[in-house]
Amino acid sequence: MATEVKTTCPYCGVGCGVIATVGDGGSVSVKGDPDHPANFGRLCSKGSALAETLDLEDRLLHPEIDGRSVDWDEALDRVAKRFSRTIAEHGPDSVAFYVSGQLLTEDYYVANKLMKGFIGSGNIDTNSRLCMSSSVAGHRRAFGADTVPGCYEDLELADLVVLTGSNLAWCHPVLYQRLVAAKAARPQMRVVVIDPRRTMTADIADLHLAIRPDGDVALFNGLFAHLAASPSVDQAYISAHTSGFAEAFTAACALDAEGLTRATGLGEAELSAFFRLFETTQKVVTCYSQGVNQSVAGTDKVNAIINCHLATGRIGRPGMGPFSLTGQPNAMGGREVGGLANMLAAHMDIEKAGHRDQVRRFWGAPMLPSKPGLKAVDMFRAVADGRIKAIWIMATNPVVSMPDADAVEAALKACPFVVVSDVLKQTDTTRHAHVLLPSLGWGEKDGSVTNSERRISRQRGFLRPPGEARPDWWQLAEVGHRMGFSGAFAYTSPSEIFAEHAGLSGFENDGRRDFDIGAHASIDTAGYDALTPFQWPQPRGTESAATRFFADGGFYHPDGRARFIAAAGEVADRLSEAFPFTLNTGRVRDHWHTMTRTGKSARLSAHIGEPFAEIHPRDAMELGLSPADLVALESPYGAAIVRALITERQARGNLFVPMHWSDQFAAKARIDALVPPITDPVSGQPASKNVAVSARRF
């Protein structure tokens, strides 16, 4: 008889519920879960093709050392001994973990506990650094905690939805479908899309602002200055719940009208139409994603947006608020357990002695680092220059996805000890591993994930583990045990890890920390198996969470007030005669990350079959390009060759190239090889949206 299992999609941050049906002969089909509050039964093309990605072709099924199949004991002993020896000889900061928003919360929790609590280094960072760390930093500066104030329903309740740096139609398709349905039901709803490209998302826009790349701080500063001088400013909210208004207002007024036009690339009529719409609409949600986060000014952009909502008191009420759309399925879960190098578990701060003491006592840990570890870009620099001598990479493919990807590859090639846990045997990264550890994939592993609206859902296994593949948390716990930390890693199931994680979130938490799911601290395996999706927080003794935050203040800074942040000005142009085009990288609708899963589905690959560069017809003409010609792109860091896609959707002087393809799928296709290792100074997030390149017909 067929069995149905409720689980969660492993792709984007919408976090859709999926029902997987396993037939008698082992066949698998999937459909949307009508009871899941993220998607109510909908799935996008990627989610609905999940069953086509479950074959075992190219799977890594056995542990390997230097290309030789070995048993788990030998592989784990090798990892533990080499890490222990490196730490003994060079100190705890000579090792690192580079993990992933593809990990489940339980995997992430154990990785963070092992590195920060027992190895004693902050050197654990994640590919989520490339995804949303500017939003985390912006939230923490403004709210005093990494709290997303609203929920998906707010997009449906708003009268104005502003989408900035977000191609929602392709990157969060089910949320986009919800928005389209809401707009159809309430035609008075307005949508503004702010993006240098006219993406598919712009097709529902009442106003599309083709902003100059990185013009967002200037735009939202201009909006803030406009709102502050308009009747929409909420003086009562500002006085009761915020501080720093005057300084932020002064910074926002730094550009005059001409400067604003120059910095944003937008005309006065477009600017005033947007400002007026925002001013006169009470229910406004501003959604932002990688176009905001992946910038040298990513954190300032986030705060410039939040400033506008604080100034109008439009936050935490139905249909109002700033809303960060997380790219990955579990980037939020990773934040909750301290998967970023500058955070501790349960949203505690690594730099606060009191927080370190709480975590140390809860874990019974010998020590905790008192300073943040290396963030992703700096971590691979440290691998390159020999400060890091052993690295364990889990569920991610940095040789394709990191900026300056060629340098990352060279660093791994020269690194004395590289461990990679993956589901696939041959990726651009696994070929540099000394030890390869086979992990469970979607449909095989068990755990939990948190989506962009703070909703925790279960991912459940419904397939037998193939070969000798094992969960990532188990691999980490076994290595922890072999390094001599036995008692702290004696887990036998993900439910025990989840209960401990929930316990830590509620430990000595008197409401001064936002993340608290202490109500689940005593959960047992049966309760964990039956867990239905819920939003955090859920402190001990409560059954349902606050859906929204901050309508009446209650921010997490010690004085309970939000902070306006003086977001500074213009981002300097990096173009030159040699590199006259601005390259923007991003996703396409039907592929995910480096295509190690979606590349298996012929249906998904049929949408867009190869990498391309979107280019404006006038630019194409000047370069002598015809449709589908090959175009060679170059930056000071690397080169790629892709097809020309000539379209008026692209602005002149700009190029868009998807980030999915690796050299395994097409020659010279790794676009991140061109992206410089330049980061936002606050968040450490790379600037992948504004890269100076040259282009020529190949």
> According to CB under 6 A, which residues from 668 to 687 bind ligand SF4?
none
44 versus 615: smaller Cβ distance to ligand SF4 = 44
593 versus 643: smaller Cβ distance to ligand SF4 = 593
11 versus 392: smaller Cβ distance to ligand SF4 = 11
15 binds ligand SF4 (CB under 6 A): yes
Q: 3-class SS at 293?
A: helix
591 binds ligand SF4 (CB under 6 A): no
Half-sphere exposure of 594 (CA within 13 A, CB side): 25
Least spacing, CB of residue 329 vs ligand SF4, in Å = 7
172 versus 520: smaller Cβ distance to ligand SF4 = 172
Q: Which of 6, 7, 11, 305 binds ligand SF4 (CB under 6 A)?
A: 11
**C-alpha span between 674 and 405 (Å, rounded):** 8
689 binds ligand SF4 (CB under 6 A): no
Least spacing, CB of residue 48 vs ligand SF4, in Å = 7
Residue count at the site for ligand SF4 (CB under 6 A)? 14
The two beta strands, 691-697 and 630-634, are antiparallel
End-to-end CA separation in angstroms for the chain: 56
Q: Which of 6, 16, 95, 248 binds ligand SF4 (CB under 6 A)?
A: 16
Burial classification of residue 159, based on how many CB atoms lie within 10 Å of its CB (0-12 exposed, 13-18 middle, 19 or more buried): middle
Per the structure block, which two tokens stand in for 667?
């020659």
Q: Which of 174, 254, 341, 499 binds ligand SF4 (CB under 6 A)?
A: 174
438 binds ligand SF4 (CB under 6 A): no
Question: Rounded to an integer, what is the distance from CA 487 to the centroid of its chain?
Answer: 32
Half-sphere exposure of 440 (CA within 13 A, CB side): 22
Q: Which of 6, 9, 392, 441 binds ligand SF4 (CB under 6 A)?
A: 9
Least spacing, CB of residue 216 vs ligand SF4, in Å = 24
Interacting stretch for ligand SF4, rule CB under 6 A, among 172-180, 303-311, 335-343, 500-508?
Answer: 172-180
Give Dmax over CA atoms of the chain in angstroms. Answer: 71
* Cα 161 to Cα 178, 187, 329, 358, distances in angstroms: 12, 13, 23, 41
Q: Which of 6, 7, 12, 244 binds ligand SF4 (CB under 6 A)?
A: 12
325 versus 415: smaller Cβ distance to ligand SF4 = 325
DSSP-derived secondary structure letter, 118: I
User: 612: closest CA among 698, 690, 687?
Assistant: 698
**C-alpha span between 197 and 164 (Å, rounded):** 11
H-helix segments, 587-630? 602-607, 617-623
**C-alpha span between 378 and 70 (Å, rounded):** 33
39 versus 281: smaller Cβ distance to ligand SF4 = 39
172 versus 445: smaller Cβ distance to ligand SF4 = 172
**C-alpha span between 300 and 86 (Å, rounded):** 39
With contact defined as beta carbons under 8 Å apart, do 213 and 584 qualify?
A: yes
Angle at 560 between CA 556 and CA 566, to 5 degrees: 80
Q: Which of 6, 7, 14, 612 binds ligand SF4 (CB under 6 A)?
A: 14
14 versus 104: smaller Cβ distance to ligand SF4 = 14
Least spacing, CB of residue 411 vs ligand SF4, in Å = 31
15 versus 222: smaller Cβ distance to ligand SF4 = 15
124 binds ligand SF4 (CB under 6 A): no
Interacting stretch for ligand SF4, rule CB under 6 A, among 14-22, 89-97, 229-237, 411-419?
Answer: 14-22
Whose structure tokens read 């201009």? 222
103 binds ligand SF4 (CB under 6 A): no
173 binds ligand SF4 (CB under 6 A): yes
442 versus 489: smaller Cβ distance to ligand SF4 = 442
331 binds ligand SF4 (CB under 6 A): no
Q: Could you give phi then psi for residue 608, rounded to 5 degrees?
A: -140, 115
Question: Rounded to an integer, what is the distance from CA 374 to the centroid of its chain?
Answer: 18
Instruction: Give me Rg for the CA atoms of the chain.
Output: 24
> According to CB under 6 A, which residues from 31 to 90 bind ligand SF4?
39, 43-44, 46-47
Question: Rounded to an integer, what is the distance from CA 657 to the centroid of its chain?
Answer: 19
Least spacing, CB of residue 32 vs ligand SF4, in Å = 7
Interface residues with ligand SF4 (CB under 6 A)?
Answer: 9, 11-12, 14-16, 39, 43-44, 46-47, 172-174
